[in-house]
Structure 1
Amino acid sequence: MILANHYHRVRANNGYQETYHPHNPKILQKTVDFKAYSNKDSSVAVTLATGTEAFSQTSWSIINKFYSQRYVHLKEDAAGLERVPKNFVAFSMTTFDFKIGAHCHDFVLREKHAGVKGHMTYKRLTKTVQAAYFNHENGIQYLAGVTYYSVPSESKADYHCADRHMMVQEFVRAKHFTNVNRGLRKYYIDYKKYGRYCEAVGRRVVVYAGKPDGQICHVDFDPVTLRTTNNGCANCGKDFKNYKFETKKKKQVEKQGVVTEDGFDTLPEVTESKDDDFDKLEDAKEAKDAAPAK
């Protein structure tokens, strides 16, 4: 069992493929109902099964706490969702400017953005967490939302030990559709953290600007060791010092044949396959790990 847990953490650390179609875990076959909740800012949706005894209490605790902390206004809304039902099989959450349509993977732009063209891609962050991205026709990729899946109560492997950290990290570091001053975002106000593309490492990162000595750091979470480290970054430090909010970015940089808003958020390579072939290997390893020793 220790090997199975380690295996899934290593897979999350190495990264899954980004695809044009969402991965559909087997637990979605238990779906009997689907409900979406929205207000002017956010949207969540819950995919339900019959009964509660078949699903992990740990999964429910993780997502209910995450929902309660991140979607406070939606939770308190009269027409909102007070708490995540314990018989959930999937729970979907959007960023601003997106809502959830007919099913747990259906992330769409709100009506005020009618006419904006682009396409969706999907990437699993862990075995039970999947992110959805809106890829604008001009080449910029935005986080549309995240879906979290429950696991069966009889499951022996602890798949979700790193899930909350991975979800928080994705929401903080991602590029959001509405260009808002980073200083006004919740995670910066509460924790002095924000997301940006760092040229030094070639990817989007979570930046921490709250150290007493003023050092600007990357916040790196390792799903293998389950440890978070702060690593100083001169590139992000320079950006923090010179950062000025602009409602419209004037700089247009062409990179790899794609004109982007800041020259760095070009679209990643995406595979056409509907399901990651790695799933078959995962299932085989799980079965082997669960089999009694001879």
Structure 2
Amino acid sequence: MDFLFKLFSARDEENEMNYIVKGYPLTTSPVIPDILKYQVKYQRMNGDRDTPILALALAHEGSDLVEPESLEVIRRRMQLWFNEYPELAKYFEKELPRNLLAVSFTHENFQMGKESCHDFKLANPYKEAENSFYTYRKLSESVQCVYYNKNGVEYPAGACFYPTPYGKPKLLESNNALVLFATSSQIEYPPRDRKRSSYFVHFKCYGRYCATTGRNIIVTCDTSDGIPRHWDYNHEIKKFERNLCYECCEDYFNYTWEEPKKDSPATPAASPEPASVTSVPAPDAINDSDTSEVSQADSTECLIEGFEKIEMNTEDAESDIGAGLIG
């Protein structure tokens, strides 16, 4: 029995890692994990201006349903994420309760709704556009991101973290990195010149949707050669990397800010077509041959020719970018 348990556990871990690397589908409704069937309480916590920016889903008090190491991943991340909100950061100073089933957190100008840990809304005084909508994408079995779609742009609204149930793959390093990217690859709403954003001014990086990779990513521009790169995490070797991307280089060098038009009609986000939760498999990973489909400027190709990716160990990534970004 012990052998069979280990065998099926290994298969579960391999299967989840494949989805993490290749990517889960974009959906028009949230994927509800099985563990939430034990929820008996939903609690929201406020930041500034009485705006709920943190939400918890809880089972009966005294329940012990999830891996404590998985809880520790989100505890550390949320303590940093909410460091400007002392009351919220204080909640994450001590061990989280074992009956905690989900933690939801918002980006700036979004708030948690009253219905569930998947209920995200624009915060006051912003109003949702008539044709706007929300989409969802899992990054792993523990991390699911939420996006507000307006005028063809996919704005990250926040994310949900589900601690790993007992007996399931923990993938602690991967989930730690995925929460970091869920918090840091933001595109500000309302839209503004990204070169004036605090992330760009202080850390020389910004978030954008990259069609080549099929996801929201972080572009870092603090390289000595002046060439922007994706800041990414290699889940197979468990290391942070900075990787070249023709599309993001072209976008970086050709970028100009234009004030958005008022009352322009909303269109679907510039991302894969939202799919039903049950019918669409994860897309294949983008390989080097696929990059030829992306429009490339000759000048951009000349700029990045001969440059290689830069590998970073976890300690360097955390201290150099991660800790600063989360603040």
1:88-130 residue CA offsets vs partner (Å, 9 max, x unmatched): 1000011111111121000011231225232222111101111
Indicate the residue corresponding to 1:171 in structure 2: 183
Indicate the residue corresponding to 2:285 in structure 1: none
The structure 2 residue matched to 1:91, chosen from 83, 103, 106, is 103
Q: What amino acid sits opposite 2:83 in the alignment? A: V
Indicate the residue corresponding to 1:146 in structure 2: 159
Give aligned-pair identity as a percent: 25
The structure 1 residue matched to 2:238, chosen from 217, 226, 242, is 226
Structure 1 runs of 4+ aligned residues shifted over 6 Å read: 199-202, 276-279
Q: What amino acid sits opposite 1:35 in the alignment? A: Q
The offset of 1:151, in angstroms, is 2.0
Kept in 1, the 8 Å contact 2:209–2:271? The answer is no
Indicate the residue corresponding to 1:12 in structure 2: 20
Structure 2 residue 78 is the aligned partner of structure 1 residue 67: yes
Structure 2 segments unaligned to the other structure (5+ residues):
1-8, 283-327
Which has the larger strand fraction? 1
- Secondary structure of the residue that 2:37 maps to in structure 1? helix
Structure-1 separation of matches of 2:213 and 2:89: 39
With 180-189 and 142-151 compared, the bigger mean Cα shift is at: 180-189
Matches within 5 A, 1:111-190: 111-114=124-127, 116-117=129-130, 118-136=132-150, 138-152=151-165, 154-183=166-195, 185=197, 187-188=199-200
Which has the larger helix fraction? 2
Indicate the residue corresponding to 1:271 in structure 2: 275
Structure-1 separation of matches of 2:52 and 2:245: 33
With 57-66 and 81-90 compared, the bigger mean Cα shift is at: 81-90
The offset of 1:147, in angstroms, is 0.2
* RMSD of Structure 2 on Structure 1 (CA): 3.2
Structure 1 segments unaligned to the other structure (5+ residues):
251-257, 280-294
C-alpha distance 265-110 of structure 1, shift in aligned 2 (>3 A): same
C-alpha distance 28-198 of structure 1, shift in aligned 2 (>3 A): closer
- Secondary structure of the residue that 1:166 maps to in structure 2? helix
TM-score normalised by structure 1 residue count: 0.76
Indicate the residue corresponding to 2:319 in structure 1: none
Q: What amino acid sits opposite 1:268 in the alignment? A: P
- Secondary structure of the residue that 2:173 maps to in structure 1? coil
Indicate the residue corresponding to 2:53 in structure 1: 43
Kept in 2, the 8 Å contact 1:120–1:133? The answer is yes
Structure-2 separation of matches of 1:109 and 1:235: 30
TM-score normalised by structure 2 residue count: 0.69
C-alpha distance 269-68 of structure 1, shift in aligned 2 (>3 A): same
The offset of 1:23, in angstroms, is 0.9
Indicate the residue corresponding to 1:285 in structure 2: none
Q: What amino acid sits opposite 2:91 in the alignment? A: R
Indicate the residue corresponding to 1:205 in structure 2: 217
Structure-2 separation of matches of 1:70 and 1:30: 27
